[in-house]
Structure 1
Amino acid sequence: MDDVDRKLISALRHDARASLSDLAILLGVSRTTVRGRIERLRQRGDIVGFTVVLQDDTKRDPVRGLMMLGIEGRGTDRIVRQLSGMTAVRAIHATNGRWDLILEVGTETLEELDGVLGQVRRLDGVANSETSLLLSTRKSG
């Protein structure tokens, strides 16, 4: 991946609906080059899809937290499958160091968050956890 590919991906992250012409002007290359690079990035798996962000998506989850989990034994894959089915779990990150997984959790109220945290803690194989509430987000994505 070269600088043009990285700039193209950055531009698509900003506006995935940008026209090939606009992207070509921004990058200083031809429309054909932009089309070819997007196709190559998709075929290689660097770009796996495009998405739509709705206004409601930006307003949801007034209560958000990061939950760090320590897992006993070899149950991580099973626990990840269980967590994936929980609607309040927005993301699951595998990590190194003290914690095995870090979850991004979002709910409407503190009471709902408390319920989700309890549900996660009760999963067989979760040895310990620590949760931090997110107070503000200065940069995302």
Structure 2
Amino acid sequence: MDETDRKLISALRHDARASLSDLAMMLGVSRTTVRGRIERLKASGEILGFSVVLKADTARDPVRGLMMIGIEGRGTDRIIRQINGLSAVRAVHTTNGRWDLIVEIGTGTLEEFDAILGQIRRFDGIASSETSLLLNTRKSGN
């Protein structure tokens, strides 16, 4: 992947429906080059697909947040299984640094969100946690 591929991917992330002509003009290359690069990136698995984000998708979870979790001992796999079993959990990420896991949570109300936090904090092996509510999403990876 070269710089032109990276710029193409960035442009597609901004507007996946941009025309080949618009993309070519932005990148300073021909439409044929853009088409070929997109096809090559799809064939290599760099681009897995394109998606649409609907307004209703963002309304699904009016209360969203990230819970950073520190785990004591060797219970990480067990804790991940427990967390994955919760319907309010949207994603679980392992990480390095101060926190062992970052958990994306989405609920309909603050009360539901608080209940999920309490449930996770009671799991055996959770040493510490810190949670941040997501106020607004300016750009989504979806």
Q: TM-score range by the shorter chain?
A: 0.7 to 0.9
Q: TM-score, normalised by structure 1?
A: 0.80
1:124, distance to aligned residue in structure 2 (A): 4.0
Q: Cα 1:33–1:81, aligned 2, differ >3 Å: closer, same or farther?
A: farther
Q: Which residue type is aligned with residue 63 of structure 1?
A: V
Deviations 1:11-39 (A, max 9, x none): 11122222323322322222221122122
- Paired with 1:89 and 1:11, the residues of 2 have a C-alpha distance of 30
Q: Give the equivalent residue in structure 2 for 1:40.
A: 40
Query: Which position in structure 2 is the counterpart of 1:76?
Result: 76
User: 5 Å matches for 1:75-114?
Assistant: 75-114=75-114
The answer to whether structure 1 residue 127 and structure 2 residue 127 are counterparts is yes
CA distance in 2, matches of 1:126, 1:96: 16
2:135 maps to 1:139:
no
After TM superposition, give the deviation of residue 80 of structure 1 in Å.
3.0
Aligned partner letter, 2:132: S
Q: 2:133 is aligned with what amino acid?
A: L
Aligned length: 140
Amino acid at match of 1:102: I
Q: Which runs of 5+ in 1 are unaligned?
A: none
CA displacement 1:19-63 (0-9 Å, x = unmatched): 323322322222221122122223333323322101112333222
Per-residue displacement from partner, 1:83-131 (whole Å, max 9, x unpaired)?
Answer: 3343322332322222101122121111110121123223343333222
Going from structure 1 to structure 2, the CA distance change for 1:115 and 1:18 (only over 3 Å counts) comes to: same
- From the superposition, tell whether residues 54 and 138 of structure 1 become closer, same or farther in structure 2 (CA, over 3 Å): closer
For the residues of structure 2 that align with 1:109 and 1:36, how far apart are their CA atoms? 47
Identity percentage of aligned residues: 74
Which aligned runs of 4 or more in structure 1 are off by greater than 4 angstroms?
A: none
Q: What's the secondary structure of 1:96's corresponding residue?
A: coil
Segment of structure 1 superposing worse, 78-87 or 38-47? 78-87
